[in-house]
Every structure is written in C-alpha cells, then in structure tokens.
Structure 1
Amino acid sequence: MPLTTTGELVGRAAAAGSAVASFNVITLEHVEAVIAGAESVDAPVVLQVSENAVKFRYGRLLPLARAAVAAAERAAVPVALHLDHVQSDALLRQAPDAGFGSVMYDAARLTYAENLAATRAAVDWAHARGLWIEAELGEIGGKGTTPLDAHAPGARTDPEQARAFVADSGVDALAVAVGTTHAMTTRTATLDHALLGRLSAALDVPLVLHGSSGLPDTELTAAVGSGIAKVNIGTALNLAMTGAIREFLAAHPEAVDSRGYLTVGREAMTRAVADLITTLAPH
C-alpha cells in the first residue's frame, strides 16, 4: 500500500472522534511489530523516528527510514512516517527526502518568544515542502524565563496561550501538557481532564498526547473522548520487547542466536500494538 501521511490519518481520526496511534520505532523489529500489530486489527498507524533514535543509529537517519518506508509500502493497512521531537534544523531538512510526511518540531525548551519564532520558521520551511508539522507547548513562566518541560510533573498548557501559539505559529497540530510524562514504566498516570476539555474547545487543530505509555486504558479512552487525535507511544513497546527477551534468555541460558530472542521480543511488541490500537478505537 502506498505510504500515507500523518496529516491524513490524524484528520480522519479527528473527524471520527477517534485517535491514531503513533509508535516510536528504534529497530527494524519495532517497525515490523508496529505494522503487524496494526494489520492484525485492520487499523492505520504511524511509525515515528525520534531525534534520539537517530542519535542511537550513529546519527544516520536514512538506514532506518528507508527500512520503514519499504515495510510501510508492503503493509496491508495505511502507514505514515513521522519524524519526532526534532530539535536540530539539520535533521528537519532531511525529512522530505527520507520519506517523512510529517515532523514534530520541538522548541518547547525555549522561552515562549523563542519557541514561537523557531517554530514559525520551521512551519514555513515545512509547509513549503508539503510537510505536516506538530509542535509542543508546555508550561510557560514569566517573560523571558525558561518554560517547564511539557512532561515535567505538574506542567500544564494554558489554553489561551496555546490558542495564540497555534494562530501565530501556523502549526497543524499541538502536543499539550495535561499530566503525562515521558518514559514511564508503570501505567499510573492520570490526566487533567478538565484542562484537556478546555484545550480542545480553545483550539481548532488536532491535539496530540505524548508520554502515553504511562496511562491506563481508561485514561487513554477518556483522552480520545476529550479530543486527543494522535497518541504517541514508545516505552510500552520497549517494555514488551525487553520483558519478553528477559524471559526467553532466562529460560534458554544457552541461546546465542539473536533470532530466537528477537522473535519473541517482536511478537510481544506486536501484541502490545494491537491492544493499544484497540483501546484507542471509538467505544
């Protein structure tokens, strides 16, 4: 199936009152598991490659991107390719030729004025090349101060500030701080549902939820019901893969062929993908 775009998938999900699952991939096994899991429940999916994943791959984007594109084009469901948490302008500029249809440009570490200026420049560049672009807005302090990271404990995005940021930056979607934290290994986070409702009412672009691995199913379902149209998931796959590999190696201490433990790791991720996509479907 031809590669689709994140913008198309998110737009359809928002119109249907659902959310598209967007999984961070690090290895080819991640890519294969995400596509296999999506195919098993007949749902579209987004493959995300983060700037940190690119750094892990010796700073080279193309090897994993080319593999992801090849796998996506052979998938039985629509698959999009998204470049996630990009802080490097040099990496941003590699996105179109590497097959990415969308980018999350991350300047949330900067002051509000600097974030807005950097994001506006990224949006102008991306839109001129047909890219859909997402940004992030955490909790902004006083004038000139460094903002609280969008996923720091207690961080919350202000609806009026978010409305101004979206209007002035021209972004296509906004990731908001409503109570999640990146890299959580337990599913114990809770969302600020009242704030999420206000953000949904204030903004006319799709809302994105980062750090979703820390949310139980009930919170994920509620988030979609409150207007989240794209849900980013990464750690949940790593937990599934690592746990399965640990069990395999404990049961087979003599194992040396990586295909044995990578197979069970990939299968565990495939199940996790299918379960999470099903959770996000309209109820």
Structure 2
Amino acid sequence: MPLARTSDLLAAAVADRRGLPAFNVITLEHAEAIAAGAETADTPVILQISQNAVGFHGGRLLPLARACAEVAAAARVAVSLHLDHVEDADLLRAAPGAGFSSAMFDASHLPHDENVKATAEAAAWAHRHGLYLEAELGRVGGKDGEAPLSAHAPGARTDPAEAAGYVADTGVDALAVAVGSSHAMTTRTAALDHGLIGRLAAAVPVPLVLHGSSGVPDAELRGAVAAGMVKINIGTALNLAFTPAVRAHLAENPAVTDPRKYLDPARTAMAQTVAHLARVVAGGGQG
C-alpha cells in the first residue's frame, strides 16, 4: 500500500470519532512489529521516529527512515511516517525529503513567548514544504515564577483557553496536551482527566495528541478517545514487550549467539502488544 499521509489518517480518525495509534520506532524490528500488529488489528497506524532515536543511530535519519518507508509500503493497512519530538531545526528541515508527512516540533522547554515564536516559524516552514506539524503545550510558565511544564511532565495540565490561543498564534495542525500521562512509565497506572480532555477538544480546533500513553490503562485510553483525544503516542509499551522476550530466550538458551534467535520472539511480542493497543485505541474491540 502506498505510504499514507498523517494528515489524511488523522482526518479520517476525527471523522470516525476514533483514535489513531502512533508507535515509536527504534530498530527495524520495531517497525516490522508495528506493521504486523496493525495488520492483525486491521487499523491504520503511524510509525514515528524521535530525535532521540535518530541520535541512537549516529544522527543519521535516512537509514531508519527509508527502512520504515519500505515496511510501510509493504503493509496491508495504511501507514504514515512521523518525526517526533524534534528540537533541532536541521532535523526538521530533513523530514520532507526523508519521506515524512508530519513532524512534532518540541519547543516546550522554552519560555512561553519563545515557544510560540519558534513554533510559529516551524509551522510556517513546515506548511511551505507540505509537512503537517504537531506541537506541545503542557502548562504555561510565568505565573508566580513557575517554569513551563511539558505535556508529559508529571503534574502538568493544559488550560483550554491557553491551548486555543497557542494554536491560533502558532498555526500548528495538532497539539499534544497535558492531561495526566507521563513519558517512560513502566506500569499502567496513569489516571487521565477526561473532563479536561473534553474541554480541550471543545476549545482547540485541531486534533489532540496524548503523549506517554504506555502508562495508561485500556479503559482510560478508551475514555480519552471518547472524550476527544485523537493521536495516541505509544513507545515504552513496545520495549516492555521486547526486552523481557529477549531475556527469557537467552535465559532458556544461554549458548545462543545468533541475534535472530532472540530478536524473532521479541518482534513477535511487540507485534502482539501493538495489535492489542491498536484495537483499544481505534475502538476495534476489547483486544
């Protein structure tokens, strides 16, 4: 199937009132597992590569991006490529030529006015080059000397009026908001503020994005989508499937040296996790 565009997948998800899962890719096995799991769930999916993952691969974007594009093109479901948590302007400018149809520009570490300025410039550039741009707003700093908090910082909550103003001032196409999730959670114990999600969805005219979804239980994910969340980012959950599978295989087979022997069960475990979470997010059943 031809490489899909993230904007089209998100527009369809909004129209159908369902979520769109976006899974983080670190290795080729991640991409293959995500595509296989999405096929099992029969749902569209986003393959997303973060700036951190690019750094892991020596700062080279194209090798992993081209591998993901080939995996996406071979999938039996619609798959798009997204460049995630980009802080480096040069990396953002490389996205369109590397096959990405969307990117997330992360200026959340900056004071609010600087965040708005940098993100507005990134959005204008992205739109000139056919790139759909997501950005992030957690809690605006400056009140009583508070520093800004990113959308995945524990305790951060996004104010609907501030979110609406941020979208208007920056021109971004999607917005990651803070509603109770955190990055890198290894237990699924996060409780989301569904009332806040509903208020944000009513106030913000672009799709909402949930970061840190690995720590969110199934029922909470379903409730978040029902309240208006659209793009659901998932990363750590894949690694929680991958690493124990590798450990278990090596523990049972200590003489193994061929990485294919333990990467195969690890890839299968990730695919099963993807299929389950894709069904939950897309509303395709209980998983």
Q: CA deviation at 1:130?
A: 0.7
Q: CA deviation at 1:145?
A: 5.6
Partner in structure 2 of residue 192 of structure 1? 193
Seen in structure 2, the aligned counterparts of structure 1 residues 145 and 90 have a Cα distance that, compared at 3 Å, is farther
Q: CA deviation at 1:176?
A: 0.2
2:119 and 2:149 mapped to 1: Cα distance? 17
Partner in structure 2 of residue 84 of structure 1? 84
Q: Give aligned pairs, total.
A: 283
Contact 1:111 1:145 (8 Å CA) reproduced: no
SS at match of 2:94: coil
Contact 1:212 1:232 (8 Å CA) reproduced: yes
Partner in structure 1 of residue 150 of structure 2? 149
Structure 2: runs of 5+ lacking an equivalent: none
The two structures have a TM-score, normalised by structure 2, of: 0.97
2:282 and 2:10 mapped to 1: Cα distance? 13
1:149 and 1:45 mapped to 2: Cα distance? 25
1:113 and 1:92 mapped to 2: Cα distance? 21
Residues 43-81 of structure 1 show CA distances to partners (whole Å, capped at 9, x for unaligned) of 111000000000000010000001011111111111100
Partner in structure 1 of residue 175 of structure 2? 174
1:73-152 counterparts in 2 under 5 A? 73-142=73-142, 146-152=147-153
1:82 and 1:141 mapped to 2: Cα distance? 28
Partner in structure 1 of residue 242 of structure 2? 241
2:107 and 2:235 mapped to 1: Cα distance? 20
Matched, 1:209 2:210: yes
1:154 and 1:192 mapped to 2: Cα distance? 11
Q: CA deviation at 1:146?
A: 3.2
SS at match of 1:46: strand
Deviates more, 1:127-136 or 1:194-203: 194-203
Partner in structure 1 of residue 255 of structure 2? 254
Contact 2:151 2:211 (8 Å CA) reproduced: no
2:146 and 2:154 mapped to 1: Cα distance? 18
2:79 and 2:245 mapped to 1: Cα distance? 26
1:151 and 1:102 mapped to 2: Cα distance? 20
Percent identity for Structure 1 against Structure 2: 60
1:211-230 counterparts in 2 under 5 A? 211-230=212-231
Contact 2:21 2:282 (8 Å CA) reproduced: no
1:155 and 1:59 mapped to 2: Cα distance? 30
Q: CA deviation at 1:141?
A: 2.1
1:204 and 1:193 mapped to 2: Cα distance? 18
1:100 and 1:28 mapped to 2: Cα distance? 17
* Aligned AA (2:101): G
The two structures have a TM-score, normalised by structure 1, of: 0.98
1:128 and 1:115 mapped to 2: Cα distance? 20
Deviates more, 1:3-12 or 1:137-146: 137-146
1:140 and 1:96 mapped to 2: Cα distance? 30
Partner in structure 2 of residue 264 of structure 1? 265
Structure 1: runs of 5+ lacking an equivalent: none
2:88 and 2:26 mapped to 1: Cα distance? 18
Contact 2:43 2:282 (8 Å CA) reproduced: no
1:69 and 1:153 mapped to 2: Cα distance? 34
1:146 and 1:62 mapped to 2: Cα distance? 35
1:45 and 1:21 mapped to 2: Cα distance? 5
Contact 1:208 1:232 (8 Å CA) reproduced: yes
Partner in structure 2 of residue 58 of structure 1? 58
2:220 and 2:72 mapped to 1: Cα distance? 29
* Aligned AA (1:280): V
* Aligned AA (1:198): R
* Aligned AA (2:49): V
Q: CA deviation at 1:149?
A: 2.5
* Aligned AA (1:167): A
Partner in structure 2 of residue 40 of structure 1? 40
Contact 2:22 2:48 (8 Å CA) reproduced: yes
Q: CA deviation at 1:281?
A: 2.4
> Which runs of at least 4 in structure 1 moved beyond 3 Å after TM superposition?
143-146
